[in-house]
Structure 1
Amino acid sequence: MDTVTGITPGAPAPGAGTEAIAADPPAITPAQAAANIFDPSWHHDTFPNYRVLREAGPFAPGPLGMRLVTRFRDVDAILQDPAWSHAEERDLMHPDSDGSDLPTSFLWMEPPDHTRIRKLVSKAFSARRIEALRQRARELAEGLLDAAIVAGEAGEVDLVEAIAYPLPLTMVAELMGVPAADHAAVRSWSFGLARGLDPDILLSPAEVDNRRRSAIAIREYFTELTARRLVEPADDLVSALAQAEAEGDRLSADEMLATLVVLLVAGHETTVSLISNTFDALIRHPDQYAALVADPDLAGPAVDELMRFSTPSHLTTRRAVCDTEVAGERFAAGDGVILLLAGANRDADVYADPDRLDLARYARSARVPRHLGFGRGHHYCIGAPMVRLEVELLLRAVARRAPRMIPLADPPPYRPNLIVRGIQELRVRMVTS
């Protein structure tokens, strides 16, 4: 990697990294591809493995007795079929856990409980509420970017630490009513819980213990914060849910705590990965960076393309609640599957030239199939409007300032996380003149 000249909009892109599939990958067998998906050494570019599996067939043997679902249409169908449940992910991935150390709530529920809790929480993510956050999100995105440019011009800056973490964490914490002084603590606990979402067989004893300690700490924190908000309510989500519970609005104290935890963790960890992947994608695709600079209005539809191209949540699970059939394959009640979301989003049978980043893909045509990055069905991401707002405004700020970003590592180091997969550190130099 040339760390002197850097990469500017319109200049040739560097080699491998997250776009390594431009060239034919080395021959990989389906069995190797299935194993590689769970190998951290492939996290920087596991898409060749997904392609091998898709071409081999709609299903492949996976870990823990589950089958991998490789193709878009089958993943899409399972996500929307009531014959498949998400309520059993703890049993499938964390068989030794009692659930108290996992951020669950409606994330791992099915109707009617899922419907009841989601309805209460959805008020915080209404179109009117999100639009009211636009000015705050714009100021925060622009301020963080400007500070990163100053630091990057003076020497170097880690875009994960400077922008990818503070933007979504600050936004969701302020929405919930978490004071700024507590952001560092909740970030630490959230990190432990996000890592703990991975299958227990991939976690070290220390990581399992950190998940447990993080769960205890964050539940204690929200118990205390909720008690304070009952006495001194504010215009935030904690106050709203605390009041709903106090009025007996079908939300128990345990459900409220679990919901607050999952909203905090899910509300920023995946967006951190999306933002860091976005910067990496702009660096590696200078033609697309140049297109964004030339037309900042691409920022809105570009969010969908970035979610498709570099899906932060690579996989999820489902369990059959009855005997059923998918793509000619029979599944008995109790069978589990692993849905390869990120791989399905690169399915050539659904997307033209799927391994190419095209920020105008969704702007050119309303007929482009909706990606699976936000899920599908009643588990569709409740925070999707906030994610769109944050990333769109950040892209507009980047287009306005158009800094030249010179990466200092290729590929950058990735976190070990399998499910919420993202860059651990993205150190760059900045040039704006």
Structure 2
Amino acid sequence: MAEATQAERFFLAAMSPGFREDPYPLYETYRGRGRLLRMADTIWFALGHGDVTTLLRHPKLSSNETRATTEAAKQDEPTWESRSLLFMDPPDHTRLRGLVARAFTPKRIADLRPTSEAIAARLLDAIAAREPGTPVDLIEAFAYPLPVQVISALLGVPAADQAAFTAWSRGVARSLDPSVLRSTAIDAAIAEAERALMAYLEDLLALRRRQPGDDLLSALVAVEADGDRIAPQEVVDLALLLLIAGHETTVNLIGNGVLALLRAPDQLALLRRSPDLIANAIDELLRFDGPVQMTQRIATEDLDLLGHPVRAGDEIMMVLGAANRDPAVFADPHRLDVTRDARRHVAFGGGIHHCLGATLARVEGHVALHALLARFPHVALAGTPTRRPTFTLRGLEALPVELGNA
């Protein structure tokens, strides 16, 4: 039997409960071994902040996974991922992102703040109305429904459809994990969720074409520049991307962030005393335990990359979670410090693929944390948090807490 590659050993470790609880010690075992680590014949890892930042902007590295030579990356037919803006290169990416920017404007995002605040207040009212002393799963009761309802308001999804919408979203989100971490059953469930969600979005888009509203779907249908419009399939793919990338990650930002603060009571107390620090704290929470742990690029030609000969089709895995804990950039990186200037984090990626919804994520994170701390002077763990069985998207399945006034 052939000896396991470093990549296989890494991903085997990544399936363990210990890794899900805290992946950062494993990352540290690879730090310092080289700027670019050859993990398998066609797979490389980068963990340093400076190197990850450089690679995210490298013009000869593609986001199109179908260009990879790794067999696991091959696809029999086009999927949502292969059509998505997330995995698109210029000039297609340039064209589509430019058109999207005309509809997904700063004003539209700013207008979602009062909507987010109203949703947060309503969810916290429901929590406050429970029997005093009853533990609350903060993911189920707050961190998950807040972004769901905000993204639904953005896209114009009726409230009655949000439960099914959410279930499909969770299924499709697993497609972002490396293929080695997915079983045949998981891939089948992903495909089924994707089919159901695409069909739903196609029907919703058809409705918005007949009856335009003030939602983003209607705006995407209407946008035009120099005679170019966004095609119906492109609108559906964009809606799916905004749902997964803009909603799933925000759930994880809120959940991971609250748990980090509960485990650093001095920092939680500081935010209570100085709520003006919350905006700064959002970037530190993104750095400290970010919702996206890894992204990848594909070499488009043979390259000398960070001093290593990389072949066309090789996969370059950039471990964002490790880059955000790089001691060369962030002093005492394993300590949460809400006063730290953490704006150099790479939780939102970088380059032309810098997260389209980064501003909205910050708005929702700020609204959630401010509302929670203002409403409940007492927040404490009431049990053991449970991690989701995903790797790329790092988040919590459950976060049991006690919430009260004392």
Partner of 1:420: 393
Q: 1:31, 1:228 → 2: CA distance?
A: 46
Secondary structure, counterpart of 1:151 in structure 2: coil
Match for 1:160: what amino acid? I
Partner of 1:386: 360
Pick one of 219, 235, 255 that aligns with 1:256.
235
Note if contact 1:276-1:426 (Cα within 8 Å) is conserved in structure 2: yes
Cα distance in 1, alignment partners of residues 192 and 7 from structure 2: 36
- The residue that corresponds to 1:45 in the other structure is 22
Aligned AA (2:399) = L
Q: Deviations over 1:91-126 (max 9, x none)?
A: 555424523254852110011111111122223432
Counterpart in the other structure of 1:189 = 168
* TM-superposed deviation, 1:417: 0.8
Of 67, 70, 83, the match for 2:60: 83
Work out whether residues 67 and 313 of structure 2, in 8 Å CA contact, stay in contact via their aligned partners in 1.
no
Name the counterpart of 1:241: 220
Change (3 A) 1:355 1:106: same
Structure 2 segments unaligned to the other structure (5+ residues): 1-5
Instruction: Label 1:103 to 1:40 Cα distance change in 2 as closer, same or farther (>3 A).
Output: farther
Root-mean-square deviation (Å) = 2.3
Looking at structure 2, the residues matched to 117 and 313 of structure 1 have their Cα atoms a distance apart, in angstroms, of 23
Cα deviation, residue 157, structure 1 = 0.8
Alignment of 1:141-290 (within 5 A): 141-151=120-130, 153-244=132-223, 249-290=228-269
Residue of structure 2 aligned with 1:334, choices 313, 323, 327: 313
In terms of mean alpha carbon deviation, does 57-66 or 304-313 score higher?
Answer: 57-66
Residue 347 of structure 1 contacts residue 354 of structure 1 at CA under 8 Å; is this kept in 2?
A: yes
* TM-score for both structures, normalised by structure 1: 0.86
Q: Distance in 2 between matches of 1:53 and 1:357?
A: 22
- Structure 1: distance between partners of 2:157 and 2:309: 47
Shift of 1:299: 0.9
Check if 1:121 corresponds to 2:100: yes
The answer to whether the 8 Å contact 2:297/2:315 transfers is yes
The answer on whether the counterparts of 2:15 and 2:181 sit within 8 Å (CA) in structure 1 is no
On the 8 A contact 2:291/2:394 being kept in 1, the answer is: yes
Q: Amino acid of the residue matched to residue 380 of structure 1?
A: H
TM value normalised by structure 2: 0.91
| CA deviation after TM superposition for structure 1 residue 219, in Å | 1.2
How far apart, CA to CA, are the structure 2 residues paired with 1:206 and 1:59?
33
Assess, with a 3 A threshold, how the Cα gap between structure 1 residues 142 and 175 changes in structure 2: closer, same or farther: same
CA 1:146 to 1:227, structure 2 compared with 1: closer, same or farther past 3 Å?
same
Find the counterpart in structure 2 of residue 16 from structure 1: none
| SS of residue matched to 1:361 | coil
| More moved, 392-401 vs 54-63 | 54-63
Q: CA deviation at 1:34?
A: 2.9
Q: Report SS of the residue matched to 1:56.
A: coil
Say which SS state the counterpart of residue 133 (structure 1) adopts. Answer: helix
Alpha-carbon contact 2:7-2:39 (below 8 Å) kept: no
Judge conservation of contact 1:104–1:259 (CA < 8 Å) in 2.
Answer: no
Is contact 2:168–2:196 with CA below 8 Å preserved after alignment? yes
Query: What stretches of structure 1 of length at least 5 have no aligned partner?
Result: 1-29, 363-367
Give the counterpart letter for 2:36 in structure 1.
Answer: F
CA separation of 1:419 and 1:290: change in aligned 2, threshold 3 A? same
Q: Does the 8 Å contact 2:45/2:317 carry over to 1? A: yes
Q: Secondary structure at the match of 1:300?
A: helix
Distance in 1, matches of 2:302 and 2:322, equals: 26
Task: Give the CA deviation at 1:149.
Answer: 4.2
